Structure 1
Amino acid sequence: QLHSSTGLFNGISPNEAALLALMETTGYSMVQENGQRKFGGPPPGWDGPPPPRGCEVFVGKIPRDMYEDELVPVFERAGRIYEFRLMMEFSGENRGYAFVMYTTREAAQRSIHLLDNHEIRPGKFIGVCVSLDNCRLFIGSIPKDKTKEEILVEMRKVTEGVVDVIVYPSATDKTKNRGFAFVEYDSHKAAAMARRKLIPGTFQLWGHTIQVDWAEPEKDVDEETMLRVRVLYVRNLMMTTTEETLRQEFSRFKPGTVERVKKLTDYAFVHYHSREDAVTALHLMNGALIDGATIEVTLAKPVRCVYPIFAGSSLSPASLLSLKPGQFSSAVTLLEYYCYKNSWALPEYYLYSTPGQDGKLMLIYKVVISSTRSSFMPDKVCTVLEDAKELAAQNALWNLVPRVRSLLLFLPSPTVLSLLLLSPTAPVSSHTAVPEPSPTLSLPPPHRDSISPLIRTLPSSDHPSIITRCVRRGNTGMEEGGGGEQHLVCY
């Protein structure tokens, strides 16, 4: 530990002298432990608990010979620093990244806006983004008759720092859970210690060997973005509840306010014409009873799908085989990967058209995989080119891999399909993008014979599909089927 007191500067290196001078000036302490050097935490005069989640930022691409005496003054421009953690090598150099915790979330956001892609030295640019300290564990193979209160009590018996337990009722029987839970801890350290204790696979609860892994934390969305959201996410619906019922219930306070409703299994998205009406409905409908089920209502969180590229970042060629399953955002890409994996030729897409009843041109793709001597065509047509291609790829996957069918019936999400098809033993994540598909029109068999070819497209690698989706983050887990099999499902 470094101590700041007058007269200790003789016989030490310039770097140490600079750090001691910083401590002398600011009054912060500094200690090095477990491969990191901590400046502050708490700062002088701090009284109370540490800042809440969302106050910490991650800093990358730091020059290896740059230390706190240069970095701290830069990051103090955004606000008061609670703690600065610089990752260190045994050699004394830093490892190129650090974590800065501010005393407020506003300061953390200001730091991102001010210092992301900041030129810290001539030709050297740093990257700054929000740090997600994961405090949530996924616990699987829990008896389905256990309540949230019972699970909370049991987890507090075997682990420390448990704050809350998130349990979702079964889609078909609201008196039972779905066979898993998410356990929230008061800190990342507490969650890590709990995971270390439970991870060996021999730990039992109520006589069941449980599965434990990290749950990907739900990303924070900045306040400015959330202030523009006019879509509600509705959870815990009955399977029998219809979109028309939801439209009536959510516009009862002011008829005509609902723009549209999209329901998938036991959850739905309710779109409003205005932000004000969405907020009013949120307060009125959260906890309401619809068709015998107590529903949960929140604002739908937009997912940020594009990120800045840091100046000086190196780019190298990549193939589909190098991607993780969660990085597949469409069935088109997933089908191409599946062909790669089986050493097949790439899928070829043939576009056909047929006139619709309202005069619009309806589109449909036929997928041909020459290596298997097979072709696939869905029984629905679309008005949008990219959606027609996505539908064709989903249909091909449906026919190529029978074990995805039961999942597609309930949730046709390419991300979920990729986890099931390509990495069935991969760690379970609570991040899954749920698409809201564009309108499609069923195509009766006689009509299918009258479609006419429009163009022959290039293989999907040369003709990428770009699809804009309305998505919301949800929780993902393993649910046991009637025959004891495990299904990956999204909520």
Structure 2
Amino acid sequence: MTTTDVKADISSTTSMSLNSAGSDDGSEPAVQHPMNPRVEAKIKALCQRTGLVMKQENGQRKYTNPALTGKPEKGTEIFIGKLPRDLFEDELYPVLESYGPVFELRMMLDFNGNNRGFCFVTYQTRNESQAALKGINNFEIRKGRLLGACQSVDNCRLFVGGIPKSKKRDEIMEEMKKVTEGVVDVIVYPSAADKSKNRGFSFVEYKDHKAAAMARRKLMPGRIQLWGHQIAVDWAEPEIEVEESVMKFDASHE
């Protein structure tokens, strides 16, 4: 990768297009200050050393590795919490790559461009991600500062309640495709009392977690109705419960 390529990747600004109007968890996009020269120099050096490509958008700095082709195995993303707020990727990345090639790193940012205390990292294989999970959890990144790590859940399915019981699967599929993007399947269960009717809810499967998160954000109560009915929307399965000890940071160190 040339210096020009790195500079172009680093200078990418926050995307404000409709298709990327929120972060992967469906939250509102964070508008950030321009990257300060010291941080830019650190990231530039990291990209030059590793060949990573960085893009900053939607409240995160996202790194991908062009040298890694093919799709990662399922279940290879891990959540890392308790990051010191003044830590940057050049300090963390050597720890991550010691367990295998990093397919993707997403550092979540606050308004000032500092990390929010957590990030997500994806490896290509489950063996690599499990080794990283064990090694990074309770790893002392700085004196007295232990990281926390746990498995990330790549949830692609939403529960949608409040659906008229007369609606068939194909009708629900058609309606969901009108109001959200990335729908790949709809699961409907018949009523026990009347098999010709549904139970008033369905499960909607999306192509990936980001599409599901964006759909959930769009379908939140009060924002949209289906067939004139108010609907209830949530993740079909509970999102991973990150232990408080993994998520929180000690303010006395900041």
Q: Quick check: TM above 0.5?
A: yes
Cα distance, 1:216 vs structure 2:
4.8
What is the one-letter code of the residue matched to 2:229? Answer: T
Aligned equivalents of 1:93, 1:199: Cα separation in 2: 29
Equivalenced residue count is 220
Q: Which amino acid aligns with 1:60?
A: G
CA shift for structure 1 position 96: 1.3
| CA deviation after TM superposition for structure 1 residue 191, in Å | 2.3
Question: Is 1:143–1:208's contact at 8 Å kept on the other side of the alignment?
Answer: no
The residue number in structure 2 matching 1:44 is 66
Pairwise CA distance, 1:213: 1.8
Where does residue 21 of structure 1 map in the other structure? 45
CA distance in 2, matches of 1:15, 1:152: 46
Distance verdict in 2 for CA 1:218–1:64, change over 3 Å:
closer
Within 2, Cα distance between the matches of 1:155 and 1:30?
Answer: 33
Answer yes or no: is the 8 Å Cα contact 1:168–1:178 preserved in 2: yes
Task: Name the structure, 1 or 2, with higher relative contact order (CA <8 Å, separation 6+).
Answer: 2
Shift of 1:91: 3.2
Alignment of 1:324-335 (within 5 A): none
SS where residue 168 of structure 1 aligns?
strand
What is the one-letter code of the residue matched to 1:34? N
1:43-74 deviation per Cα after TM superposition (whole angstroms, max 9, x unaligned):
113445x5365221111111122111111110
Measured against aligned partners, the alpha-carbon deviations of 1:26-49 in whole angstroms (never above 9, x if no partner) come to: 111112222211121xx113445x
**Is the contact made by 1:80 and 1:103 (CA closer than 8 Å) also made in structure 2?**
yes
The corresponding residue for 1:158 is 179
Match of 2:237 in 1: 217
CA contact (8 A) 1:139 1:210 kept: no
Letter in 2 for 1:75: L
Change (3 A) 1:28 1:189: same
Which TM-score applies when normalising by structure 2? 0.72
CA contact (8 A) 1:182 1:215 kept: no
C-alpha spacing 1:13/1:195, structure 2 compared with 1 (3 Å): closer
Of 1, 17, 33 in structure 1, the residue corresponding to residue 57 of structure 2 is 33
Contact 2:169/2:187 (CA < 8 Å) preserved in 1?
yes
- Report what 1:57 is aligned to: 78
Q: Indicate the RMSD between aligned Cα atoms, in angstroms.
A: 3.2
CA displacement 1:431-466 (0-9 Å, x = unmatched): xxxxxxxxxxxxxxxxxxxxxxxxxxxxxxxxxxxx
Instruction: Supply the distance in 2 between the matched residues of 1:123 and 1:182 (Cα, whole angstroms).
Output: 45
Contact 2:160-2:232 within 8 A present in 1 as well: yes
1:199 CA drift (Å): 3.1
Checking the alignment, whether the CA contact within 8 Å between 1:135 and 1:217 is kept in structure 2 is: no
Percent identity over the alignment is 51
- Counterparts in 2 of 1:59 and 1:152: CA distance versus 1, 3 Å: same
Task: Tell me, yes or no, if the aligned pair for 2:136 and 2:148 is still in contact at 8 Å.
Answer: yes
TM-score w.r.t. the length of structure 1 is: 0.40
Is structure 2 residue 125 aligned with structure 1 residue 104?
yes
Structure possessing the higher radius of gyration over alpha carbons: 1
- Unaligned residue ranges in structure 2 (runs of 5+): 8-35
